[in-house]
Amino acid sequence: MNTNFDLIVFDWDGTLMDSAASIARAIQLACADLGLPVPDDARARHVIGLGLIEALQYAAPDLPQSDYPKLSERYRHHFFATVDSLVLFPGTRELLDWLAAQGRLLAVATGKSRLGLDHSLAQSRLGAVFHATRCADECFSKPHPAMLEELMAELAVSPEKTLMIGDTTHDLKMAKNAGVAGLGVGFGAHPVEYLRAEEPLAVVDTPQELAAWLRANV
């Protein structure tokens, strides 16, 4: 198993920031606003990590195509009402600082929009930590490999030297599609058994286990 990685790419929601529950709730409230069937928690959490339109098409599959912008607006209304109260998982800042001190390149590949990620980076004061970022409104949505391919090209790192860390099967499938190693985190959106089915290097159950795995293997 290669663990000599030069580039470590993180998903954002459910991996670095404890936001999966807020995203799922915003999807449910948006559907309720339009009188649509409200997806249960499992369905609402499954779409986390996808681009917004792809996520809403899965959460509300019977909505006419022309009405998704309205559903998107209601989602943004509910999510941004809570976004400033969201926090990083414990130890996230210290872990990123440690990785940077080891000379690792750090990046983000997220289903968030550029506006949403920039807001979160400013709120968390992590913007300067990352060497590059990609968002779903700039690339094909996960699990397409475009985000990882563009990050690797920008930072001149090969797939063999790149690690993708995420809390959803979308993240791990994207890693596979890009020929990149994947590491699953079981404290975010998708159940641990779904993550393990994608055969990542490992699945860690807590932020503390994530830090310990990286310190031991990277």
CATH tag for 20-84 (out of 1.10.150, 3.30.1420, 1.10.8, 3.40.1350):
1.10.150
Q: Which tens digits make up the pLDDT trace of 148-172?
A: 999 999 999 999 999 999 999 999 9
At 195 the pLDDT is: 97
29 pLDDT higher than 80 = yes
- pLDDT over 70 percentage in the chain: 99
Residue 117, amino acid: L
177 pLDDT higher than 90 = yes
At 3 the pLDDT is: 64
Which residue out of 6, 13, 40, 137 is catalytically annotated?
13
The C-alpha atoms of residue 108 and residue 36 are separated, in whole angstroms, by 33
- Per the CB < 8 A criterion, the answer to whether 149 and 132 are in contact is no
- Structural domain boundaries in the chain: 7-18+89-217, 20-84
1 pLDDT higher than 60 = no
Q: Is 13 a catalytic residue?
A: yes
- Per the CB < 8 A criterion, the answer to whether 166 and 49 are in contact is yes
74 pLDDT higher than 80 = yes
The C-alpha atoms of residue 61 and residue 206 are separated, in whole angstroms, by 33
190 pLDDT higher than 80 = yes
Q: Which tens digits make up the pLDDT trace of 81-121?
A: 998 899 999 999 999 999 999 999 999 999 999 999 999 99
Architecture in CATH for domain 7-18+89-217:
3-Layer(aba) Sandwich (3.40)
147 pLDDT higher than 90 = yes
Are 7-18+89-217 and 20-84 in the same CATH fold?
Answer: no
| Better pLDDT: 27 or 83 | 27
Under the banding of pLDDT at 50, 70 and 90, the label for residue 4 is confident
At 180 the pLDDT is: 97
Task: Output the average pLDDT for the chain.
Answer: 95
Which residue out of 11, 18, 167, 171 is catalytically annotated?
11
CA dihedral 20, 177, 209, 43 (to 10 degrees): 30
Contacts 24+ apart (CB under 8 A), 132-135: 132/105, 132/107, 132/108, 133/107, 133/108, 133/109, 134/107, 134/108, 134/109, 134/110, 135/110, 135/111
Q: Is 11 a catalytic residue?
A: yes
